[in-house]
Amino acid sequence: MKKIFATILTIAVIMLASCSNEKGEIPKKDFSPDECESVSYTLDIAPFVAANCAGCHSSSFTGYDLTTYTGVKAKADNGSFRNRVLVVKDMPGYCVISENDKKKIDCWLSNGAQNN
């Protein structure tokens, strides 16, 4: 029973720790085609995934790994990354994603989810 409680508590702490403490709505930024092309996995997407997804979605915890480009790319290629983050909006768990981050993710996915 103690192991179950400890596991549940650990999961709850990880989920809460992965959320940002942003207050209020960040103004929406419309990206021009040039800005959209400049969205980078290394500078824009990887930090977002590390802060909001990788805490729970690592190979040892869920059976698939969002701590690497290869893992994120696999979910981008099969459509589940876009679906869960931008369409269904049930990920990343209890976190609120800014409009700017949503647009960056959409741009990155629309441009082929490159490792740039």
Give the per-residue SS3 of 80-104.
Answer: HHHHHHHHCCCCCCCCCCCHHHHHH
Note the pLDDT of residue 27: 44
Whether 11 is covered by a domain: the verdict is: yes
In a domain, 65, yes or no: yes
Q: Is residue 59 part of a domain?
A: yes
Angstrom distance (rounded) from CA 116 to CA 101: 17
Q: Annotate 48-86 with b (16+ C-beta within 10 A) or e (fewer).
A: bbebbbbbbbbeeeeeebbbebebbbbbbeeeebbeebe
Domains in the chain, number: 1
pLDDT value of position 6: 57
Query: Structure pTM?
Result: 0.71
26 part of a folded domain: yes
* Percentage of residues of the chain with pLDDT beyond 90: 52
24 falls in which pLDDT band (50, 70, 90)?
Answer: very low
In a domain, 116, yes or no: no
Confidence band, pLDDT 50/70/90 cuts, at residue 76: very high
Residue 115 lies in a domain: no
Has residue 76 been placed in a domain? yes
pLDDT-derived band at 13, boundaries 50, 70, 90: low
Q: Which domain holds residue 47?
A: 2-110
